[in-house]
Amino acid sequence: MHNTATFHQRITFAGSLIAIGIVFGDIGTSPLYTLNAVFHNRIITESIALGSLSCIFWTLFFQTTLKYVIITLQADNNGEGGILSLYALIRRYWGKWLIFPAMAGGAFLMADGIITPPISVASAIEGVQNVIPGFNTVPVIIGILIGLFIFQQFGTDKIGKVFGPAMVVWFGFIAVIGAISLSENFAVLKALNPYYAYKMLVLEPKGFWLLGSIFLCTTGAEALYSDMGHCGRNNIRISWVFIKIALILCYAGQTAWLMGHVGETIGNVSPFYHIVPQEIFWLSLIIATAATIIASQALISGCFTLINEAIRLGLWPRHKVLFPGNIKGQLYIPAINWLLMMGCVFMVLHFKESTKMEAAFGLSVTLTMIMSTLLIYYYLRAKRVPIVWVILITSLFVCIEFSFLIANLQKIGEGGWITLVIGFTLFIIMYIWWKGQNTKSALMEFTDIANYLPSLQQLSTDTSIPKYATNIVFLTYSKSLHKLEKNLINSIFNYGTPKRADNYWFVHVNVLDEPYGVNYEIDTIVKDDIYFINFDLGFREEPRLDLFFREVVKEMIKNKEVNLQESNEFKYKHSSSIGDFKFVVRDSFLSYDNNMPFWKNFIMKSYYNLKYLAVKEEINFGLDQSNLIIEKYPLVVTLHKGSKLKRKSSTKHPANI
């Protein structure tokens, strides 16, 4: 724990470089499209140009710097960030009802992740139209996105090393071209005065609604928090100084260009490309495209992390999680990868242009930010920050974020409904899975194992019953060696022939709120007969229960805590095997004896349908198929109470039949 904390507090050049390459990709490419969204189909005016720069500056200050870089980064769950990690950090203090804003925030962040890669790549590639008017960018955008998603399965370990230097080039580039353009009109820096923001939002007709486009400048702030585990919060904070200066210079440079073209329109090309010297246009296009690909990569990795955390917290059906690279935190989830790819390709085919994608961009992440503000309120309360400061801080963020939300609502009819539908769908999936899991857990009956110890010991030595296995390993939901599931006991004694074994092992896997760590403890209930093993796994650890169990038993044999060599079967073994063993995995199915109310029936049937899309328990726990037994048992939520059965009396005498 201490080493992890030290790592995430330490400031290093390498850590800062990684932060620039991974953490700031999304927010760092926003100059490509933010002011383009503000002035799309709009005449350039001095009031809106200066007001936009003022709003962007103060949005980056309040939302990005104050909320995320200064406050939210303090809420690290053993070094990990993200809205689900934040929930895992505070649920012990405030109860499980906070699961709802956590689920909503995670769902809408995932939905925004489907639109971010298309708009980022499209905004860069469309710069070609500056020199080749009418160029069809759609095939190029789709080709880049498909290539990016295909590459995920090979891991980003090696190419990831160039992300930092590449993004340093990007931020240095936008800072330089911004400064060059700004040098022609330093007067635009007066827009840093918040009066110009007030003037645009309040005095300019329909100026308030421009906040929906202004918000695009900070959409990467939530991803910034989610990627904290890659490089540490202090490295992010130090890097942000350089990033923010580069962003402000670029936005100020674009504003200077806008001030020189008052009364005109920006045309089909973003103001960003208007401030790029024509001599280096193609170079700028290459740099911008590389930056948007890196930004998309970071967001895809963030989605993998988000889903993996949701799986560990019981909020999402289990999927196969792979670790393709040499970096421990690098994940690859095939099902999510291809789902994201199809979503991104659909967005490109549907909208075709980045200016139209902007309508769907930002709305869902606004909801994520509101949910994170709610969780931050309870985090600050848990940290015993004076209530006056907590209310003042969170009220400020709520006012800002609800203003952005109201302004973004106008995007619903222009395409924003797509990300809302996706977000709500993901939330419903999370809710159904969480509710189904809780309902099933609530119906699980536990019984005292002490009541069955004599029977287990007698069964173990009863040679008249065929031996099922030398060692039977049952996975149990029980965290205590004193209680076991009733259906597990039934599996031993009542399902067919009693399961006789030399040793009975009851194994529980506990997923921790911390991201990493594999620990275990053993309780010997009856020596050389009955054992209970509890594994504590970090929520980002890959479970390899078959391997873990073998290692534990070998250690027990070495320490003479169990003597498997006395088994008759063991003398025929020609290796250092721990003997014959079988894992028994029990899985429920929805019984036909149920008579549930409509809503509960919908939830439970949907839950079991989702299970078909999830990875099987044996795969999830890393169990070898050759040692595996899967048993099904019926789940009765609400017992059907129909008409009472009545036996009809026979009209014929048995002798006449």
What's the pLDDT score for residue 191? 92
List the strands of the sheet with 500-512, edge to edge: 518-526, 530-538, 500-512, 467-475, 581-590, 628-635
CA atoms within 13 A on the CB side of 596: 17
- As beta bridge partners, residue 175 has none
Q: Residue 232 in 3-state DSSP?
A: coil
Question: Which ranges in the chain are annotated with CATH 1.20.1740.10?
Answer: 2-437
What's the pLDDT score for residue 159? 61
What's the pLDDT score for residue 3? 45
For the cut 50, the answer to whether the pLDDT of residue 185 exceeds it is: yes
User: At a CB cut-off of 8 Å and minimum separation 6, what does 629 contact?
Assistant: 582, 583, 584, 585
Taking residues 412-428, what's their average pLDDT?
Answer: 88
Residue type for 76, please? D
Write b or e for each residue in 260-288: b if 16 or more Cβ atoms lie within 10 A of its Cβ, otherwise e.
Answer: eeeeeebeebbbbbbbbeeeeeeebbebb
- The residue among 542, 564, 543 whose CA lies nearest residue 553 is 564
The angle at the Cα of 244, spanning 238 to 245, to the nearest 5 degrees, equals 105
For the cut 60, the answer to whether the pLDDT of residue 329 exceeds it is: no
More reliable by pLDDT, 157 or 244:
244
540: confidence class by pLDDT, cuts 50, 70, 90: low
What's the pLDDT score for residue 400? 94
- How many whole angstroms separate alpha carbon 408 and alpha carbon 613? 34
449: confidence class by pLDDT, cuts 50, 70, 90: confident
- What distance, in Å, lies between the first and last C-alpha atoms of the chain? 81
For the cut 50, the answer to whether the pLDDT of residue 574 exceeds it is: no
More reliable by pLDDT, 507 or 15:
507
| Token pair for 521 | 């403890």
Rounded alpha-carbon distances, angstroms, from residue 540 to 99, 154, 305, 515, 637: 19, 19, 9, 5, 32
| Token pair for 408 | 């973004």
What's the pLDDT score for residue 387? 93
CATH of domain 2-437: 1.20.1740.10
Q: Residue 17 in 3-state DSSP?
A: helix
What's the pLDDT score for residue 5? 45
- How many whole angstroms separate alpha carbon 110 and alpha carbon 648? 61
41: confidence class by pLDDT, cuts 50, 70, 90: confident
Taking residues 590-603, what's their average pLDDT?
Answer: 84
359: confidence class by pLDDT, cuts 50, 70, 90: confident
For the cut 50, the answer to whether the pLDDT of residue 213 exceeds it is: yes
What's the pLDDT score for residue 428? 95
- Percent of the chain residues topping a pLDDT of 90: 26
Long-range contacts of 283-287 (CB under 8 A, 24+ apart): 284/127, 284/173, 284/177, 285/124, 285/125, 285/127, 285/128, 287/169, 287/170, 287/173
- How many whole angstroms separate alpha carbon 140 and alpha carbon 409? 31
58-96 pLDDT, tens digit per residue, is 999 999 999 999 998 888 777 777 888 888 888 877 777
- Highest-scoring range by mean pLDDT, 57-66, 105-114, 287-296: 57-66
Mean pLDDT rounded to a whole number for the chain = 84
Taking residues 220-247, what's their average pLDDT?
Answer: 83
What's the pLDDT score for residue 244? 94
What's the pLDDT score for residue 654? 59
Radius of gyration of the chain (CA): 30
Specify whether the backbone of 362 is left (phi greater than 0), alpha (psi in -120 to 50) or beta: left
The 3-class SS string of 572-620 reads: HCCCCCCCCEEEEEEEEEECCCECCCHHHHHHHHHHHHHHHHCCCHHHH
For the cut 60, the answer to whether the pLDDT of residue 479 exceeds it is: yes
Taking residues 3-14, what's their average pLDDT?
Answer: 57
- How many whole angstroms separate alpha carbon 394 and alpha carbon 398? 6
The 3-class SS string of 615-645 reads: CCHHHHCCCCHHHEEEEEEEECCCECCCCCC
What's the pLDDT score for residue 151? 83
Taking residues 269-276, what's their average pLDDT?
Answer: 88
Residue 254 · residue 35 · CB < 8 Å: yes
For the cut 50, the answer to whether the pLDDT of residue 4 exceeds it is: no
Would strands 483-485 and 581-590 be described as parallel, antiparallel, or unpaired?
Answer: unpaired
